[in-house]
Structure 1
Amino acid sequence: MLKLTGSAKSAVRTITFALPSDHPAGKVSVVGNFNDWKPGAAPLKKRSNGTMSATVKVPVDYIVAFRYLGENGTWFDDPDADFIDAGASVILAK
């Protein structure tokens, strides 16, 4: 699940990346152009409802390219992204 927030007057958008509690990837981080593709820079943390999430802030109109990195080097995309290209999930932070 992806959630994009920010007021119309703000120059920043907040993106929340979330995975369900039963996701099989184990420990996961979100890796993308907003953190120079550094594994572990944005780890998803367990929430009280069992899901895992991480939040990042990006400028308005930023094109976010990202993937999730799970344990054992497992890379995967988010089906809720605006689209998925050959190498990443993509969100248009409007």
Structure 2
Amino acid sequence: MLERTPLKDRTEVTFVLPADTPPGPVSVVGDFNDWQPGVHQLVPRKDGNRAVTVALPAASTHSFRYLAAGDYWFNDENAEAQDGANSRLHT
């Protein structure tokens, strides 16, 4: 799930996944972090889900995927679009 908070010059996008699906550490990787695993790792929230917030430029489009333990790559089923193997989001 993607949560957005529009601000004056950027949009804060929060990437949210259930606490244990998939199990183990998960990070969001995309063109906004040069596809570097571990830069934006999801952490537990009080509601039981895991999340990480990334500030992105306003009115921009980005490709991303999730990377879980065991080199398991997967997309966000709630993303606005798919771009080949990647999910897409618009701020």
Instruction: Decide: shared fold, TM above 0.5.
Output: yes
Question: CA deviation digits over 1:29-53, x for unaligned, max 9?
Answer: 0000110100100000011222100
Measure the CA separation in 2 of the matches of 1:31 and 1:70: 10
Give the match for residue 52 of structure 1. 50
Structure 2 partner of 1:18:
16
What stretches of structure 1 move > 6 A for 4+ residues in a row? none
AA aligned opposite 1:43: Q
Report the equivalent of 1:62: 60
Mark the runs of 5 or more structure 2 residues left unpaired by the alignment: none
Letter in 2 for 1:2: L
Tell me the percent identity: 41
Two-structure CA RMSD over aligned residues (Å): 1.1
In structure 1, what is the equivalent of residue 75 of structure 2? 77
Note if contact 2:2-2:16 (Cα within 8 Å) is conserved in structure 1. Answer: yes
Give 5+ residue unaligned stretches, structure 1. none
Distance in 2 between residues matched to 1:34 and 1:4, nearest whole Å: 16
State the TM-score, normalizing by the size of structure 1: 0.91
1:5 is aligned with what amino acid? T
Structure 2 CA distance for partners of 1:70 and 1:4, relative to 1, 3 Å: same
The number of residues matched between the two structures is 91
Q: Distance in 1 between matches of 2:77 and 2:45?
A: 21
How many angstroms apart in 1 are the aligned matches of 2:63 and 2:83? 9
d(CA) in 2 for partners of 1:21, 1:59? 28
What SS is found at the alignment partner of 1:39?
coil
